[in-house]
A and B are shown apart, each in its own frame.
Chain A
């Protein structure tokens, strides 16, 4: 960049902008909620003498924190960067170049929505995954937040510094809707792992809270005796069915809470995908098409057997921990819907439909060995216990189910294991219980790792991993025959692996006495 360009951009300096005034109402409420136990304690136990002014500190402090946060946070967009200034005692200025902005997420909790506010989070692909390093504006007016998003993703300089905060009447850019949630899809909710986790967590949380209540209710009625009077053969299945129903209802509630009004659309002008969802807390994620590196289809066993799947995007600049790290494109939905959206997102029909190359007999043998040997130990152990510790023999008989299931698992795992190469994508499919099919852009691959454990080395297979700056950061192909792996890596990213091809095929043999012996 020349000297002139720098000065002109400095002159373009926009005025520092503040958060929306209405956030003053959000933060105190949030702070009060956070201080709630303390407040209750204060007013309950300090109720005897009302004259004590300390009680009011508990209310005043959160409000003061909110005020200070409002007063100390400001941001501006200059010609080429966004700057965020914050902090009361330790001041910090966060700066990010605009062309590094990959994703923008608007989140609105119920209280935000009531006040027509939005929390803006800007993803720049920096290593900071949490806390102070993230660019978060909490919160702006809904209209201003949208405008900011447009500015960031269009990468056009702001027209006027300090434009008025009022009016949300910016005409929405033309968008083509790719997907809208069909409420019938809630039937898949109990089959997703995340749905189950949410349901179990809710149940665990509720059980502590409701436990006493239920016990009190049971004491008052004769239900307890009625239940005890039932034979085990009736009460056990009844309990299981009841549990399944409760879990399903909770999972469906969770699905609706997060995915209500789910809409995936493509904004042609801004070259972005928008994902909107949420019943109480709404979340709008915008993904720059240029940062999209592919998609993952998640097919956990239950969902797969019911003919469903989920679709998430592989995006750079979206590296957050836990469940949040996934960028959903389709919630649990029928397979046909998932594939159709996947095709639309990838703009190529191949990756999600093409036939895959299987990994061969060694990969199959390894699947069986790994699934069957550990599961065989269960009936063996039970049989040993039956002879030595006089455990019932039928238990060992039931234990025989484990290796049988192991065989089924191994067969499924091998049947699903495969890879393919299309015009623009590398496709890998693997896993049974947590089945996935990943389509990763070939230009998004920024390196290869070829890993061999001791046993893989003896078997002559490798785990080939494509590394990338997006999504899960690495995408692995399990137990590929060595030659096939090298050939695949050469073909997928031309001009990279060729130069080491002789080393990749010769080095291990010459340097590996163990392999020579066998």
Chain B
């Protein structure tokens, strides 16, 4: 949504030098994107945490599903930016010892996110070893 607003804003700013029809076409695409993409993402994005693993499904054009076993989890982060805080949302990032990318869950309800972090932390502590 922010990206689309940004695109529209830059278009308005530079809109004087491009023809009106292009401006309109771009605006239509941008608005369609800002409406359709989040809805589509919301339908695609999934997450689940079991006793032994975390699972996420993300993306819209390119879709990625990630599974990380609880025994290999190294850190669990919870973060909120200003907008998230306005809507009482939070994002959870679970990292393993691999640099191949963390497992990230965006836009959880703050309470749900906190419960999840607590649960993940507890389960990871139970696992022995140095997680490599």
Contact = CB atoms under 8 A, between A and B. Distances in A.
Contact of A469 (B52, B67, B97): B97
Contacts of A474: 98-101
Interface of B: 43-44, 46, 48, 50, 52-53, 55, 57, 61-69, 72, 96-101, 103, 130-132
A469 B62 contact: no
B55 A447 contact: no
B51 to A, nearest CB: 9
A366 B63 CA distance: 18
B65 A449 contact: yes
Interface string A388-428: 00000000000000000000000000000000000000000
A504 to B, nearest CB: 7
Given A125-B97, A452-B62, 19 more contacts: A446-B98, A447-B66, A447-B68, A447-B69, A449-B65, A449-B101, A450-B65, A453-B62, A454-B62, A467-B101, A468-B98, A468-B100, A473-B100, A493-B69, A499-B52, A499-B53, A500-B67, A503-B46, A503-B48
Nearest to B103: A447
Interface residues of A, number: 34
Contacts of A465: 100
Contacts of A496: 52-53, 67, 69
Interface of A: 100, 125, 316, 319, 446-454, 457, 465, 467-470, 473-474, 489, 493, 495-497, 499-500, 503-504, 507-508, 511-512
A496 B52 CA distance: 7
Contacts of B44: 511-512
Chain A contact residues: over half helix, strand or loop, or mixed?
Answer: mixed
A81 to B, nearest CB: 14
B45 to A, nearest CB: 9
B132 A446 contact: yes
A139 to B, nearest CB: 29
Nearest to B71: A446
A449 B100 contact: yes
Contacts of B131: 446, 469
A42 B69 CA distance: 62
B61 A454 contact: yes
B57 A507 contact: yes
B98 A500 contact: no
A374 B90 CA distance: 43
Nearest to A497: B67
A449 B55 contact: no
B54 to A, nearest CB: 9
A370 to B, nearest CB: 16
Contacts of B62: 451-454
Nearest to A450: B65
Contact of A449 (B66, B69, B99): B66
Interface centre among B50, B64, B132 (most CB of A within 10 A): B132
A116 to B, nearest CB: 35
A57 B69 CA distance: 59
A126 to B, nearest CB: 11
Contacts of B50: 499
A469 B97 CA distance: 5
Contacts of A499: 50, 52-53
24 contacts: A316-B97, A446-B96, A447-B66, A447-B68, A447-B72, A450-B67, A453-B61, A453-B62, A454-B62, A467-B96, A467-B98, A468-B98, A468-B100, A469-B97, A469-B132, A470-B132, A493-B69, A499-B53, A500-B53, A500-B67, A503-B46, A503-B55, A503-B57, A508-B63
